[in-house]
């Protein structure tokens, strides 16, 4: 692990369940003294995750927020910065999945997919990136999907949103690489999480959430001379 003078402040969106909660636990368990700002809409679940991370040795606080709402993101960012003073690592994990054929996808549902998966990432990054630029140091890790690198039939809105995440990540990488900010997009395949509930895919054919979470910690631990621009994770037993 690279030498740092202070334990990092890590913001994780979508931290109330699934992969987001696993990412929080991974940082709490593996990075000594880490300070976690956990963000999600579900206050009850978020508080439970914060308590679990505290038991693992982290300093964790919950911040309820709908990341697709500009005003809420502004309020949340002010509260996080008031509490922790800075943000070193931003994990844009919040998202939503709803499938359905293109001809059955309404404009409203398309807008909701873009808002939850892409607009939220833009808003939260815009809130915290200025501080990283000012300090010339930081990490922005975005949650992509295999649907963002290979079209997923039956999920046009989600696929469009995740391709947008991949593109925005590349743009941020190009813009921020000269100011000490590492930007990466992680593209996981089928992972045991609420998003795959009811899919009919057996858990044995999916990745454990802790494995995906561990990838984010590994990205953070690398020397600041190194950045992984993209990472693709797939279940060993298939191409999901």
Q: What's the total number of domains in the chain?
A: 1
On whether residue 2 sits in a domain, the answer given is no
Identify the DSSP state of 193. Answer: S
On whether residue 238 sits in a domain, the answer given is no
**Per-residue pLDDT, 218:** 97
9: left (phi over 0), alpha (psi -120 to 50) or beta: beta
Task: Say what angle helices 156-176 and 120-135 make with each other, to 10 degrees.
Answer: 10
On whether residue 213 sits in a domain, the answer given is yes
Mind listing the pLDDT tens digit of every residue in the chain (240 residues)? 444 568 999 999 999 999 999 999 999 999 999 999 999 999 999 999 999 999 999 999 999 999 999 999 999 999 999 999 999 999 999 999 888 899 999 999 999 999 999 999 999 999 999 999 999 999 999 999 999 999 888 999 999 999 999 999 999 999 999 999 999 999 999 888 887 776 667 778 889 999 999 999 999 999 999 999 999 999 998 767
Residues written for the chain: 240
Whether the full predicted model's pTM is greater than 0.85, yes or no, is yes
Selecting among 63, 84, 141, 158, the annotated active-site residue is 158
Residue 171, domain extent: 9-233
On whether residue 1 sits in a domain, the answer given is no
Task: Report how many helices (DSSP H) and strands (DSSP E) the chain contains, helices first.
Answer: 7, 7
Q: What are 169's two structure tokens? A: 């990540």
Q: What CATH number is given to the structural domain containing 199?
A: 3.40.50.720
**Nearest Cα residue to 145 out of 188, 113, 116:** 188
Task: For residue 158, indicate whether it is catalytic.
Answer: yes
**Per-residue pLDDT, 126:** 98
Q: Is the dihedral of CA 201, 207, 212, 214 positive or negative?
A: positive
On whether residue 240 sits in a domain, the answer given is no
Tell me the C-alpha distance between 102 and 113, whole Å.
13
Tell me the C-alpha distance between 120 and 128, whole Å.
13
Q: What are 190's two structure tokens? A: 């089928």
- Judge contact between 88 and 10, C-beta under 8 A: yes
């Amino acid at each position: 692990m690279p030498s740092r003078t202070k334990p990092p402040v890590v913001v994780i969106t979508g931290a109330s369940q699934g992969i987001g909660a696993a990412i929080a636990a991974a940082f709490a368990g593996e990075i000594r003294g880490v300070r976690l700002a956990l963000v999600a809409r579900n206050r009850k679940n978020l508080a439970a995750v914060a308590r679990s991370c505290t038991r693992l040795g982290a300093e964790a606080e919950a911040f309820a927020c709908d990341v697709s709402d500009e005003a809420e993101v502004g309020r949340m960012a002010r509260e996080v910065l008031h509490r922790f003073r800075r943000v070193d690592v931003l994990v844009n994990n919040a998202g939503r999945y709803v499938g359905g054929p293109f001809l059955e996808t309404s404009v409203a549902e398309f807008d909701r997919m873009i808002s939850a998966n892409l607009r939220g990432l833009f808003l939260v990054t815009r809130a915290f990136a200025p501080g990283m630029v000012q300090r010339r140091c930081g990490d922005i890790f975005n949650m992509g999907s295999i649907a963002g690198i290979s079209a997923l039939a039956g999920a046009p809105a989600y696929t469009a949103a995740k391709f947008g995440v991949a593109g925005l990540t590349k743009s941020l990488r190009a813009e921020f690489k000269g100011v000490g900010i590492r930007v990466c997009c992680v593209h996981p395949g089928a992972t045991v999480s609420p998003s795959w509930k009811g899919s009919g895919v057996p858990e044995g054919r999916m990745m454990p959430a802790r494995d995906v979470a561990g990838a984010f910690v590994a990205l953070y631990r690398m020397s600041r001379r190194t950045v992984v621009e993209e990472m693709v994770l797939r279940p060993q037993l298939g191409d999901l």
